[in-house]
Structure 1
Amino acid sequence: MQVIYGIFHLVTFFKNLMNDLIIVNLKKKIVLDTSIIIDGDISQKIDNKDIDENFEIIIPRAAIDELQSQACKQKEHGFIGLAELRKIREKCSENNILVRIYGEKPNLEDIKLAKNGRIDALITDIAEKENATLFTADYIQHLTANATGISSVHIRSPVSASFNLENYFDDRSMSVHLIEGVEPLAKKGTPGEFTLEKISDNKLDKQTLNQIMNFLFSTENNKKISNIEISFDGCYVVMYKNLRIVITQPPVSNKIEITAVRPIKKLSLQDYQLDTTLVDRLSKEAEGILIAGRPGSGKSTFASSIAEHYVQNNKLVKTLESPRDLQVPENVVQYGSFKNGYERVADILLLVRPDFTIFDEVRRIKDFELFADLRLTGIGMIGVIHANEALDAIQRFIGKIELGMIPHVIDTVIFIHGGKIEKIYELNLTVKVPAGMVEQDLARPVVEIRDFFSKETEYEIYSYGEENIIIPLKNIDKKIDKERNNRINKLAESKIREVIGKFDPKAEIMIISNDKIRIVVNKEVIPRIIGRGGSTISEIEKTLGVRIDVEAKVPLIGNEIAFSITESGSRIYLLVDEMHIGKKANLFLGDELLITNQIGKKAKLKLDKKSEIGRKVFNTIMSNNQDSMKLYESKDE
């Protein structure tokens, strides 16, 4: 009977244990990170019965250690967080809510990498392992958790308007630069004329920058106010009203940095006081326009004014930009990138058939290819591109698309400096003999770059062999003309040396005229250069576009070297004094140079009897005519 009662009690025990386990497994697990503990929202939710006995609260040990570390450094947030933890445990005990501390203590490496997000990563790992929901007040942490498939709830505490980024701007501010551990800075002035100034003596800490970020992200659902344009681990690009804001933090940067840029003012095309001929060209002729300039020069402002001009002239205008920060009229639709590329968006553009598309920030190779592709389909294109000079904007297309296609893609280049138009080029393709060449059979396609107002050609671009050459033509006096010819000669010599160097790397090249050169090479390579029936030299002349005279190189000789002769098997050795070891020597048979070679470590110059030179030397020895052989020091390098 006692055995039966024992079995009954044992069954009852296991049954209750299983019920307890089922109840625990049915509870909703939530993991708290450091930010939500500091904010004090969890204790309030317990008071409001938003969190009750149906929940299990998991507190990562890493979060406790981080709060303890902050408190040891006398930081207020550490004390606030530890006090909140005590409050959470007391309220959970009163309301029968299960609380569990979980995870290992951070090691030394974790602590060192805390600023790089290691502690946050440990906390999200716990949420994933426990199949729990992460509760956080840090929007970045929330985004990161969601991006990795972890359930996350972002609890937004009211953010004070004092953390509004606009508070750092005044009427003269172009951009604001907020860096962790540094006083806030601002660029003030106008494009081309600005200074970097401190706007406060108080250094920014991580908590303040996080509050600024929380303020921005707290309005992320209101697309007219704030929009996340680019987002990846450690970097965000946000549009807030008319501000373009770039946020970087570890691992992209070693500390938090927030950069906000705003347009100084919106201009119309009339504000630039353009010449009527230029306005006519923009309105009627130009369809492949590049707006070039240095960063902050006012390129995007001018592009916006062109967009407004086309809209006023009943043109359908779209933009390709990432981030979408151009200040354009309401009826201009702004397209952004899709999965870090514009290819699919470009397909949509062809379907909506715009008259003009503004491509902001043409920078990557695919951007140049896409710009050219859209232009060649018949869409008018305005590209905004970074360049130090107007010519640089054109040069950036060389190599990305065929040289002959450039004038069909780009017809007008407008260079902006300090918010003003400094230079305008127009491009034209023609077939002619390039400047500096005289032979008519050297005619080739040439891209002419002309000043828009004077119509004077300032540069020519053409192909020479496999190289693309840009030649400046404007204001060439005798000195400049000589320097230019020297540059052409150097380029020509480089190309010639590349071809002839395959036969003799140390060939001497002399440019006699624009269509004739002389090359001096070692005697033994001349037959290979000439080829059978002159076939090889004819092919080289055709490739280089010049006539070639070939001469044998006459070596520079020094003192005569005494030698003796020995034979061994298939070798002939010329023995010299040890003082000549490592030096080059020329062996002559009468007036004929047989060979130039280096004397070996054993003070020997060796010849193979089976070689042509070896046979000549052997025959000379056998005919007892070895006095006709002379050995001299070589002065050639």
Structure 2
Amino acid sequence: MKIVPDTSIIIDQMLSKLIEENFENAEVLIPEAVQSEIENHANKRKDIGYNGIEELKKLRILADEGHITLKYVGRRPQLDEVSLARGGEIDAMIRDIARKYNATLITSDRLQSQIAEAQGIDTYFYQKEAPKIVKTELERYFLDDVSSIHLRENTVPMAKRGKPGEIELIELDYVPLRYNDLDRITNELLAQTQLRQDAFIEIEKKGVKVIQFGNLRITIAKRPFADGFEITAIKPVNRLDLIDYNVSDKLLKRLSDDAKGILVAGSPGAGKSTFAQALAEYYHYDLEKIVKTMENPRDLNLDDNITQYAPLEGSMEDTADILLLVRPDFTLFDEVRKTRDFEIYSDMRLAGVGMIGIVHATRAIDAIQRFLGRLELGVIPSVIDTTIYIEDGEIKSVYSIELTVKVPTGMIEADLARPVIEIKDLQTDALLYEIYTYGEQTIVMNVNKKHDDENKDKSSVDKIVTKVIRNEIYRIVPNVAVEISLLSNNRALVEIDPEYAGTIIGKNGKTIEKIEERAGISIEVQDLEVKEIEDKKIIPVSISGNYISLNFRKEDIGASYDIIVEGEYLFTATVGKKANIRLKRNIEMGEIIIKAMKKDEPVYARLRSDDYY
């Protein structure tokens, strides 16, 4: 008797058993297409591929022992035919083999069986025993207060239990799990996933699977993605209502009336998702809004009235396109992480959809700053108007975001007025941060930052103003010796090498006026007191690879020196731990030093200290 198995009966590992029971001494003709499809699965690190290879090995053993005759027949399919396997190309090739050799087709695929019978091919359909839905071994690890299970080969099973802010890691057993244990748990999960309506494979890539299994999100990782076999299962512990968070009347009013672009921020495990779920259900039930979600993976524990969407064919952008057609009142986006996520969130908000975005951040302001550079500054308040920061499962702070035109805090001149994003504490209405542009810089100013009067650091504005003045001066006189200090919020002092003071002031003060205009501050120019050029010393210079090294003595480590070449000040630097100052040879200053060396001109260093300036 001749039999032709298809791929399904091989990967189900049932052909070897059927041979022992029903097809002893049969001539088994395995189409090359079957082996090719199994090999393709194995190359993609799919378990069904490995299962199929194991079954082929068993058939080889049966042939070597004389129980069957084993042959591989037909042609190996082309790459494009393998890629079209889901469309039935491989199944058609297998049926052609059965017809050509007048053999019985053995399959556990009902559709394959029905088509073969319709084509007049003798067919043996193996009806797999219908598995039952059972509580899996992994699910039995979960107790009432367990939020996640962590299984890894050669280690004991671990779990996290408790509520946000009070999480502890515990051992569930003293016996380490082996590879076979995790393989057994995985196979059971995959089998049950095919049966349960609330279970599906969310992501399947080389070395990793993500399964949504009821309210569990299960990640299965193997080599080469991970360095070992690992299963992680996460379950939402709490399902809370908004009232459980002691929401203030002011926040509740804002959520009800004004908030349309909301960020829920916090560190991992802080309780962001739990709060976002409560917020989504508040909008649905209390405010009677239509709420949808965008999730990757889809694992929020929400009421059945709220539809949860995953990436459409792997694209969250396509999901957003569908949602814009559905037009929900609010969409919960879990989580906003990559640049394209921020763009999708923004596009949907600007299209009029209320948005709730979950964002990883260690501070509330960090969540807002993640939009900087991704959106035009003036657009940000139209996209996000409220940020809620969650810590240890509680609302830690709430910020409102608004756009105004004003002179930024710390500046005085009226002509410095500009668009400013004000970030305020919602509860107290206290101004906390300002975001604005100054020149080409984007400034995030903490307006409440306290400074130690005895050791007062420059504010961000002071640093930017100083940098603008210095860049303008260097543009006119490159690398001139100059010191800049702020006398007040509207006045700066520039001390410059006397040789170049006139150049900086310009004819009738025109040059300094332009610098003042660009810096937005009044400038006083004074001569810089410097030691005479004779108080300098020659420094040995060496070149190694792409770097130039100015070599000092050990006692010079930590001291700052002016570097002088051919009587001209070049730059100032501090001697490093290796008693040298290094710079790249291909930058302008490096090229000047190399030219001087070629002309046998020495490089001088002049000690820079408080006595000189």
TM-score, length-scaled by structure 1: 0.67
CA drift of 1:545 comes to: 1.5
Aligned to 2:318: 344
Q: Say if 1:299 and 1:416, in contact at 8 Å, map to a contact too.
A: yes
1:428 aligns with 2:402: yes
Aligned equivalents of 1:413, 1:392: Cα separation in 2? 10
| Cα drift, residue 88 of structure 1 | 2.6
- Residue 206 of structure 1 deviates from its aligned partner by 1.6
Match of 1:547 in 2: 522
**Deviation (angstroms), 1:56:** 3.4
Distance 2:302 2:172 in 1: 30
Cα distance in structure 2, aligned partners of 1:371 and 1:488: 31
**Matched residue, 2:552:** none
Aligned to 2:69: 97
Matched, 1:515 2:490: yes
Per the alignment, in what secondary structure is the counterpart of residue 394 of structure 1? helix
Equivalence map 1:384-403=2 (5 Å): 384-403=358-377
| Change in 2 beyond 3 A, CA 1:538/1:248 | farther
Q: Are the structure 2 counterparts of residues 83 and 444 from structure 1 closer, same or farther at C-alpha, using a change threshold of 3 Å?
A: closer
Asked if the contact 1:235–1:247 (Cα under 8 Å) also holds between the matched residues in 2, the reply is yes
Match status 1:456 vs 2:430: yes
Question: Higher helix proportion, which one?
Answer: 1
Q: Root-mean-square deviation (CA), in Å?
A: 4.3
Q: Quick check: 2:60–2:70 contact (8 Å CA) kept in 1?
A: no
Q: CA contact under 8 A between 1:362 and 1:368: conserved in structure 2? A: yes
Distance in 1 (CA, whole Å) between partners of 2:527 and 2:566 is 18
Relative to the length of structure 2, the TM-score reads 0.69
- In 1: Cα distance, 2:270 partner to 2:61 partner: 56
CA distance 1:467–1:55, shift in 2 (3 Å): same
Find out whether 1:266 has 2:263 as its counterpart: no
**Contact (CA 8 Å) 1:216, 1:226: kept in 2 or not?**
no
- 1:509 aligned partner, one-letter code: I
Q: 2:27 aligns with which of 40, 53, 62?
A: 53
- Work out which of the residue numbers 130, 146, 164 in structure 2 matches 1:191: 164
For 2:573, the equivalent position in structure 1 comes to none
What is the CA–CA distance in structure 1 between the aligned matches of 2:304 and 2:453, rounded to whole Å? 52
Identity of aligned residues (%): 38
Distance 2:474 2:596 in 1: 26
Q: Unpaired runs of 5+ in structure 1?
A: 1-22, 64-76, 101-127, 138-152, 562-581, 588-595, 607-631
Offset at residue 508 of structure 1 (A): 2.2
SS at match of 2:240: coil
Does the C-alpha gap of structure 1 residues 228 and 505 become closer, same or farther in structure 2, counting only changes over 3 Å?
farther
Q: State how far apart, in whole Å, the 1-side matches of 2:164 and 2:8 are.
A: 49
Name which of 523, 548, 557 aligns with 2:532.
Answer: 557
1:322-333 matches, cutoff 5 A:
322-333=296-307
1:529, distance to aligned residue in structure 2 (A): 5.0
Within 2, Cα distance between the matches of 1:404 and 1:602? 54
Would the alpha carbon gap of residues 306 and 584 (structure 1) be closer, same or farther in structure 2, given more than 3 Å must change? closer
Query: Could you say what secondary structure the match of 2:336 adopts?
Result: coil
Deviation at 1:335, TM superposition (A): 1.3
* Residues 497 and 527, structure 2, Cα contact 8 Å, conserved in 1: yes
Amino acid across the alignment from 1:422:
K
Contact 1:413 1:424 in 2 (8 A): yes
Partner of 2:330: 356
Structure 1 pair 335/171, CA: closer, same or farther in 2 (3 Å)?
Answer: same
CA distance in 2, matches of 1:229, 1:602: 66
Structure 1 residue 330 displacement after superposition: 1.4
Q: Give the conservation status (yes or no) of the 8 Å contact 1:390–1:413.
A: yes
> How much has 1:515 moved relative to structure 2?
2.6
Q: Does 1:284 align with 2:268?
A: no
How has the CA–CA distance of structure 1 residues 537 and 237 changed in structure 2, closer, same or farther, with 3 Å as cutoff? farther
Q: Secondary structure of the residue that 1:292 maps to in structure 2?
A: strand
CA apart distance, 1:519: 3.0
Q: What is the number of residues matched between the two proteins?
A: 493
Distance 1:160 1:379 in 2: 40
What is the SS of the residue equivalent to 2:63?
helix
Point out the structure with max Rg over C-alpha. Answer: 1
Shift of 1:187: 0.8
Q: Distance in 2 between matches of 1:224 and 1:536?
A: 76
- Among 188, 192, 195, the residue aligned to 1:219: 192
Q: Secondary structure at the match of 2:162?
A: strand
| Equivalent in 179, 182, 186 of residue 152 of structure 2 | 179
Q: How do 1:107-118 residues align onto structure 2 when only pairs under 5 Å count?
A: none
Change (3 A) 1:235 1:538: farther
- 1:307 to 2:280 alignment: yes
Partner Cα separation in structure 1 for residue 535 and residue 518 of structure 2: 43
Alignment partners' CA distance in 1, 2:375 and 2:211 = 33
- Map 1:116-195; keep pairs closer than 5 Å: 164-195=137-168
Q: 1:167 to 1:447 in 2, by over 3 A?
A: same
Distance 1:407 1:156, change over 3 A: farther
Q: Deviations over 1:454-498 (max 9, x none)?
A: 11112222222222222223375x747984654432343234334
Note closer, same or farther for the CA distance 1:454–1:475 as it changes in structure 2 (3 Å cut).
Answer: farther
Asked if 2 retains the 8 angstrom alpha-carbon contact of 1:293 and 1:415, the reply is yes
Distance 1:318 1:528 in 2: 65
Counterpart of 1:444? 418
Change (3 A) 1:346 1:499: farther
CA contact (8 A) 1:30 1:56 kept: no
